[in-house]
C-alpha cells in the first residue's frame, strides 16, 4: 500500500472539511461562481424537479394502480419482460360477453351485453396501445434523461464543489504562509530559558524555510485554480446542454398529445358504432321489452287513435310543432316512433290521446312519442 498517497489523500479530505466548516461559520472566504453559471445550475435544478413530477403524474395516469406500477418497476430493474395483464375495460368486457352468452345471444338483453362487451374489449385494447405508445415516446425519454444526463450533471457539479473547496483551502494556506513570512524578523526569538544551540535555527534558515513554504503554497494554489477552471468548463458545457434537452422533450410531448388524440378518437368512434348498433335493436322483432316500462305507460294504450294517412294540404296538421329528442327512445310496438337523441321531428296532439304522449312524424314515419323525451323548438 502507498502510505504516502494515502496520507496525502487524508490530508486533502481534512483540508476540505476544515474549509467547509469555516465557510459555514463565516470564518473563511468562498469563491463565488458568476451569475450566468448560477442561472444555468438553477435551470438544471428546475428541469430535474419538474421532469420528476411530470414523469410521476404521467405514470399515474397511464397506470392508476400503484401496486401494478411497483410491479412494473421491479420488472424493469430486473430487466425482465412485464407480465401481461387485463386492464379494467377488458375485464368488464369479458364479464359482459359471458353474461350475454348466459342470458342467450338471441335475446335482446343478451345480444346487447355481447355487443357492449366486445366494444369494451376494443376500448381496452385501444387503451393498451395508448399506454404502450406513450411509454415509448414520452416516458422513456424522460427516464433516460433523469437516469443519464441529469445524473452526469449532478456528479460533475459535486466534483466542481470539491475543486472549489480545494481552491479556497489553497488560498487560505497562501495567506497564512505569507503572513508568517512577514512576521518573521531576525533576533525575535527569545526565551526565559537558555536556548539549546543544536535545536535553534539561524535567522537565515528560518527565512529560507518560510520562503519555501510560501512558494509551495503558491504552487498548490496554481494547481488548484487550474483544476477548478477545468472542472468549471466541463460542468458549464453539460449545463448548457439543458436547452437541447428541452427541445427533445418538446418533441416527445407532441408525440404524447398525438397518441392521446388518436386514443380518444378511437374511443369516440367505438362508442358511436355501439350506439348505432343498440339503436337498431329497437325495431327488431326480438325486442319485445324495448321502449318505456309498462308501469309508466298511459292507460287505454291500445285505444289511442293512429292516423293512417298524412294530413291533407301541405302535409303538416294544424298545431304541429318542431321538437328535439332529449334522449334515445326505443319504440315498443308499431304504434310508437323511435327517437335518437338531438334529432328534430314534427309533433302534434291528437284528440283523445293521453296528454303525456304526442304524435310524432319523421318523413313518412309516424308514431306516438313520450312528451318527457321532447324539448320544443321555437
**What residue ranges of the chain are covered by domains with CATH 2.30.30.40?**
321-377
pLDDT, tens digit, 9 for 90 and up, residues 28-71: 677 888 899 999 999 999 999 999 999 999 998 988 777 766 66
Q: Which pLDDT score, from 0 to 100, does residue 54 have?
A: 96
71 touches 83 (CB < 8 A)? yes
Q: Which pLDDT score, from 0 to 100, does residue 330 have?
A: 84
Starting at the edge strand found earlier in the chain, the sheet holding 357-362 runs 365-370, 357-362, 344-348, 321-325, 374-377
CATH of the domain spanning 9-184+207-280, picked from 3.40.50.720, 1.20.140.10, 3.10.20.740, 1.20.1270.60:
1.20.1270.60
Q: CATH homologous superfamily of domain 321-377? A: SH3 Domains (2.30.30.40)
Nearest to 135 by CA among 313, 223, 78, 127: 127
Cell numbers linked to 341: 337523441
**What residue ranges of the chain are covered by domains with CATH 1.20.1270.60?**
9-184+207-280
368 touches 353 (CB < 8 A)? yes
Q: Which pLDDT score, from 0 to 100, does residue 115 have?
A: 92
Q: Where does the chain show beta strands of DSSP type E?
A: 321-325, 344-348, 357-362, 365-370, 374-377
Q: Which pLDDT score, from 0 to 100, does residue 83 have?
A: 67
The helix (H) or strand (E) run that includes residue 243 is helix 242-280
Please report, in tens digits, the pLDDT of each residue of the chain (378 residues total). 566 566 666 667 767 777 677 767 676 677 888 899 999 999 999 999 999 999 999 998 988 777 766 666 666 666 667 667 888 899 999 999 999 999 887 788 888 999 999 999 999 999 999 999 999 999 999 999 999 999 999 999 999 999 988 888 888 888 888 887 777 644 444 444 455 555 556 666 777 777 788 888 889 889 989 999 999 999 999 999 999 999 999 999 999 999 999 999 999 999 999 998 887 555 444 444 444 344 334 443 444 444 444 444 445 566 789 999 988 888 888 889 999 888 999 999 988 888 889 999 998 899 999 998 899 987
In this prediction the pTM is 0.60
Q: How many residues does this entry show for the chain?
A: 378
Burial of 228 (0-12, 13-18, 19+ CB in 10 A): buried
Q: Which pLDDT score, from 0 to 100, does residue 314 have?
A: 46
Beta 374-377 vs 344-348: how paired, if at all?
Answer: unpaired
According to DSSP H, which parts of 1-149 are helical? 3-24, 35-62, 66-77, 88-103, 108-134, 140-144
Bridge partner list, 334 = none
Q: Which pLDDT score, from 0 to 100, does residue 269 have?
A: 94
Amino acid at each position: 500500500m502507498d502510505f504516502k498517497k494515502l496520507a496525502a489523500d487524508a490530508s486533502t479530505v481534512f483540508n476540505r472539511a476544515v474549509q467547509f466548516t469555516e465557510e459555514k461559520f463565516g470564518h473563511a472566504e468562498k469563491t463565488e461562481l458568476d451569475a450566468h453559471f448560477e442561472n444555468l445550475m438553477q435551470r438544471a435544478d428546475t428541469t430535474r424537479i419538474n421532469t420528476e413530477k411530470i414523469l410521476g403524474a404521467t405514470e399515474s395516469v397511464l397506470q392508476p394502480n400503484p401496486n401494478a406500477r411497483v410491479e412494473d418497476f421491479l420488472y424493469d430493474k430486473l430487466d425482465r419482460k412485464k407480465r401481461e395483464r387485463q386492464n379494467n375495460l377488458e375485464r368488464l368486457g369479458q364479464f359482459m360477453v359471458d353474461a350475454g352468452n348466459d342470458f342467450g345471444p338471441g335475446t335482446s338483453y343478451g345480444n346487447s351485453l355481447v355487443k357492449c362487451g366486445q366494444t369494451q374489449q376494443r376500448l381496452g385494447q385501444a387503451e393498451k396501445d395508448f399506454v404502450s405508445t406513450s411509454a415509448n415516446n414520452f416516458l422513456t425519454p424522460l427516464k433516460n434523461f433523469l437516469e443519464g444526463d441529469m445524473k452526469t450533471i449532478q456528479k460533475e457539479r459535486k466534483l466542481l464543489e470539491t475543486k472549489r473547496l480545494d481552491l479556497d483551502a489553497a488560498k487560505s494556506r497562501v495567506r497564512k504562509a505569507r503572513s508568517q513570512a512577514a512576521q518573521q524578523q531576525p533576533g525575535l526569538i527569545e526565551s526565559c530559558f537558555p536556548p539549546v544551540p543544536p535545536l535553534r535555527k539561524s535567522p537565515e534558515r528560518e527565512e529560507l524555510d518560510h520562503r519555501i513554504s510560501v512558494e509551495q503554497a503558491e504552487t498548490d494554489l496554481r494547481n488548484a485554480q487550474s483544476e477548478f477552471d477545468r472542472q468549471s468548463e466541463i460542468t458549464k458545457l453539460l449545463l448548457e446542454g439543458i436547452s437541447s434537452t428541452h427541445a427533445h422533450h418538446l418533441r416527445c410531448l407532441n408525440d404524447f398529445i398525438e397518441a392521446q388524440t388518436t386514443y380518444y378518437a378511437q374511443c369516440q368512434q367505438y362508442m358511436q358504432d355501439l350506439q348505432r348498433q343498440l339503436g337498431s335493436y329497437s325495431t327488431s322483432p326480438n325486442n319485445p321489452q324495448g321502449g318505456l316500462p309498462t308501469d309508466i305507460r298511459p292507460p287505454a294504450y291500445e285505444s289511442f287513435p293512429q292516423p293512417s294517412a298524412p294530413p291533407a294540404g301541405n302535409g303538416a296538421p294544424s298545431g304541429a310543432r318542431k321538437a328535439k329528442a332529449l334522449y334515445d327512445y326505443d319504440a315498443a310496438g308499431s304504434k310508437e316512433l323511435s327517437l335518437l337523441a338531438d334529432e328534430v321531428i314534427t309533433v302534434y296532439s291528437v284528440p283523445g290521446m293521453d296528454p303525456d304522449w304526442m304524435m310524432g312524424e319523421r318523413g313518412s314515419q309516424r308514431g306516438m312519442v313520450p312528451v318527457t323525451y321532447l324539448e320544443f323548438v321555437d
